[in-house]
Amino acid sequence: QVQLVESGGGLVQAGGSLRLSCTASERTFSTYTMGWFLQAPGKEREFVFGISWSSSTPIYADSVKGRFTISRDNAKNMVYLQLNSLKPEDTAVYYCAASPRRLTGVKRDYDYWGQGTQVTVSS
């Protein structure tokens, strides 16, 4: 099965930026979505961004539009989430995930999950 490992989280000041990385142990099918989710303390895990291995057009949640971007490097089996203009409310555990469906933002569609990486934004 696919193993996903996130990295790049940490503590930053409000207005700062981070780049999160997700490394897949193997290439998923081209139709798969590689997605990012976040889970804030006491909140439900929610969809942030998704991109397929064969498409450069991502899908995203309205809440992060204009501040976060997703990218990928097929040769390295990696996807990235660039977090800009961070706010304290962005504090959460960020998860990388993989879905067999193309460009889905539905949590239940994702079969594989990383362990998560903590992002903490100070005021």
Listed residue (20, 12, 11) closest to 83, CA to CA: 20
Listed residue (75, 45, 73, 50) closest to 60, CA to CA: 50
Q: pLDDT tens for residues 96-121?
A: 999 988 889 999 999 999 999 999 99
Which one has a higher pLDDT value, 1 or 17? 17
Cα torsion 27, 76, 114, 48 to 10°: value is -100
Q: Which tokens belong to 101?
A: 């469906």
Mean pLDDT of 34-44: 95
Which one has a higher pLDDT value, 92 or 74? 92
Q: Which tokens belong to 29?
A: 């099918």
User: Looking up tokens 């469906």, which residue turns up?
Assistant: 101
